Amino acid sequence: MDIINKIRESREEEEQLKWRGTFREYLELLKEHPHIAQTAHSRVYNMIKDAGVLERDSKKMYKFFGDEIYGLEDSLEKLVEEYFHSAARRLDVRKRILLLMGPVSGGKSTIVTLLKRGLERYSRTDRGAVYAIEGCPMHEDPLHLIPPHLREDFYRDYGIRVEGHLSPLNVMRLETEYGGRIEDVMVERIFFSEDRRVGIGTFSPSDPKSQDIADLTGSIDFSTIAEYGSESDPRAYRFDGELNKANRGMMEFQEMLKCDEKFLWHLLSLTQEGNFKAGRFALISADELIVAHTNEAEYKSFISNKKNEALHSRIIVMNIPYNLRVSEEERIYDKMIRESDMSHVHIAPHALRTAAIFSVLTRLKEPKKQNVDLLKKMKLYDGEELEGFKEQDVDELKKEYADEGMDGIDPRYVINRISSAIIRKDVASINALDVLRSLKDGLDQHPSISNEDKDRYLDFIAIARKEYDEAAKKEVQKAFVYSYEESAKTLMDNYLDNVESYCNKTKMRDPLTGEEMNPDEKLMRSIEEQIGISENAKRAFREEILIRISAYARKGKKFDYNSHERLREAIQKKLFADLKDVVKITTSTKTPDESQLKKINEVIARLIDEHGYNSVSANELLRYVGSLLNR
């Protein structure tokens, strides 16, 4: 019954948050907490900012989007700073419709949903509290009660600007219910809810012939005309359109560019002047964020139509491209799998990364910069350090194409193919090869892939396979080297002794004969070459190692096998190269002897305990790497 207790506690918490008082009492509250009079755009910006902002490499990372949107930091920073921040400061962009444009499954709908759910939560906090005239179907701002000729005085006293005019219904209620006494008008705290249609609206166009403008602006309640005597009596009008209900918050305009023109004209006045026309009334004020989303093809069709020119200048377009970072793409797949019915399936290490490499390659454009191919570009975008490249080179690559990431393979396709691989294999474990095979088979079934694209995509699958082959060999290499850990430490100590002698220009002494000898250049180079240290760079690398050893000694710390990442990698590769014959025999023998079997079991245990494999995927990995080494 724990869930019942939590429901009761939630209800009690909401009861405690409720507030009801007169306009006079509301002004006293406002004096203490002026932020509660913020505009809709300001509320959205503060909501994002209050969730936390991190600075990384002079770029802003917003925690509000952190657990849901991956790899779109640049786009999100532009969205928050150029649109929401500017709109919150009452700059002219708040008079624009926000249009998120990008490819399918790129994150547009997720961003809108996050904003809606975020506003629902934020309105239940002290910083995001929203107050409205009690009983108003549009949740009208109580400050609209202040007569226009007194608003300058109010600004001097409170430092708050009042925009908008009292709605026709509340004008009548002020006279009939309160006798014109503004200070007695009742005010209440409201909580945004899409389900209850409070402060959050969603409009989705349907058949233009049957859809009524009333869906946006409300309609006359004909059953009350006999009672009130006129269609222009606001009591005979239902203020229940999406624009009415979204007042004070935001409205999502789905498929806006497919809408009939008569629906779009209402947005002209709403965005520019902050009001819209409904029924036989004066213009009705509304303070709300209008956000829509579309793809590039629809947008180009929209702007090519001369009839839509008036709306062009009323729209701020924000590109939401596909993610272009492999590590973030992998997180997208992991999240989608965790939220699905596939979460029980064991997905071997590197399977999602290999799929992510393929996806990102399909989205990248050929670099114009010399000495950079798509694979290098992909690695640089993902933050890998490549010799000869700096951060400035990455920035230059990103500036080459303004529309990079607006096409390519979408995440849903990859998840669909992973699902297919699971069903086909009929085993609760899949690996990178299963995923690549399924991705390849699915290209024929993808309706929007041309033959030319298919040939390119097959090349990308081959590249992803090569990257996986290297990763698989490295994984097995690490597992085998751990089993020979003493050998690895001995090899490193031998290397360090030789490096010290080389850098200090001293002789070494043979531990058995006591004979003096020169540093073993052949040994040092055989290790350094494993990680691409050139002949010209060897001295700098060796001196760097000695400096690291000295730094550790000053701090009273011991320099060991794990103290220098690149040296550890070089030692592992050297030892693995020496052990390659052992690995070949051990992994490819159908009937291994007792010592080989013991070694296999040690490696499998290491792969399971420290690398995230299960027994099925670990055995598959060993067989595959054995076949690679035997080629």
The DSSP result for 324-370, as a single string, is: --HHHHHHHHHHHHHTSTTTTSEE-TTHHHHHHHHHHHHHPPPP-ST
Report how many helices (DSSP H) and strands (DSSP E) the chain contains, helices first: 28, 18
Report d(CA 602, CA 481) in Å as an integer.
11
Q: Which residue has the higher pLDDT, 306 or 318?
A: 318
Angle at 312 between CA 309 and CA 313, to 5 degrees: 110
The token pair that represents 601 in the structure block: 């079991």
At 50 the three-state DSSP class reads helix
Closest CA to 567 of 589, 540, 541: 541
Q: Residues 6 or more apart from 291 whose CB is under 8 A from it?
A: 97, 98, 99, 100, 112, 115, 250, 251, 252, 253
**pTM score of the predicted model:** 0.82
Q: Which long-range contacts (CB under 8 A, 24 or more apart) does 374-380 make?
A: 374/463, 375/463, 375/467, 378/324, 378/326
Looking at the DSSP assignment, which residues form a beta bridge with residue 324?
none
* Percent of the chain whose pLDDT exceeds 70: 95
The token pair that represents 222 in the structure block: 């004909």
Report d(CA 177, CA 454) in Å as an integer.
70
Secondary-structure class of domain 3-319 per CATH: alpha beta
Model confidence at 596: pLDDT above 80: no
Model pLDDT for residues 577-588, shown as the tens digit of each residue: 776 766 666 666
Report d(CA 187, CA 24) in Å as an integer.
9
The token pair that represents 596 in the structure block: 């080989």
Phi, then psi, of 610 in degrees rounded to 5: -120, -10
CA distance to 122, 436, 453, 469, 556, per residue, from 466 (Å): 48, 11, 20, 5, 43
The token pair that represents 514 in the structure block: 């006591």
Report d(CA 191, CA 132) in Å as an integer.
10
What's the average model confidence in pLDDT over 320-348? 89
Map tokens 């108003």 to a residue: 136
Model pLDDT for residues 384-415, shown as the tens digit of each residue: 888 888 888 888 999 999 889 999 999 999 99
Q: Where does the pLDDT of residue 211 fall: very low under 50, low under 70, confident under 90, or very high at 90 and above?
A: low
Closest CA to 456 of 365, 326, 325: 365
Model pLDDT for residues 73-100, shown as the tens digit of each residue: 999 999 999 999 999 998 888 888 899 9
DSSP for 532-596 reads T--TTTHHHHHHHHHHHHHHHHHTT----TTS-HHHHHHHHHHHHHHHHHHHHHHHH-SS--HHH
Contact 318, 78 (CB under 8 A): yes
At 276 the three-state DSSP class reads strand
Closest CA to 607 of 592, 587, 627: 587
CA distance to 98, 134, 238, per residue, from 194 (Å): 19, 19, 18
Report d(CA 23, CA 27) in Å as an integer.
6
Phi, then psi, of 200 in degrees rounded to 5: -140, 120
Report the amino acid identity of residue 216: L
Model pLDDT for residues 245-286, shown as the tens digit of each residue: 999 999 998 878 877 777 777 777 788 788 888 877 888 889
Please report the pLDDT score of residue 55 as a whole number.
86
Q: Which residue has the higher pLDDT, 352 or 419?
A: 352
Report d(CA 530, CA 566) in Å as an integer.
10
The token pair that represents 264 in the structure block: 């779009």
At 167 the three-state DSSP class reads coil
DSSP for 199-240 reads SEEEE----TTT--THHHH-EE-GGGHHHH--TT-GGGEE--
Q: Are strands 315-319 and 97-101 parallel, antiparallel or unpaired?
A: parallel
Mean pLDDT of the chain: 88
Model confidence at 550: pLDDT above 70: yes
Q: Residues 6 or more apart from 481 whose CB is under 8 A from it?
A: 488, 571, 572, 575, 576, 579
Model pLDDT for residues 502-514, shown as the tens digit of each residue: 999 888 887 777 7
The token pair that represents 89 in the structure block: 């400061």
Report d(CA 584, CA 597) in Å as an integer.
13
What's the average model confidence in pLDDT over 491-506? 90
Please report the pLDDT score of residue 223 as a whole number.
78
Report d(CA 531, CA 580) in Å as an integer.
17
Contact 366, 449 (CB under 8 A): no
What's the average model confidence in pLDDT over 520-545? 91
Report d(CA 214, CA 596) in Å as an integer.
78
Model confidence at 333: pLDDT above 70: yes
Model confidence at 571: pLDDT above 80: yes
Closest CA to 475 of 595, 630, 351, 625: 625
Write down the domain spans for the chain: 3-319, 326-464, 484-578
The token pair that represents 151 in the structure block: 């608003």
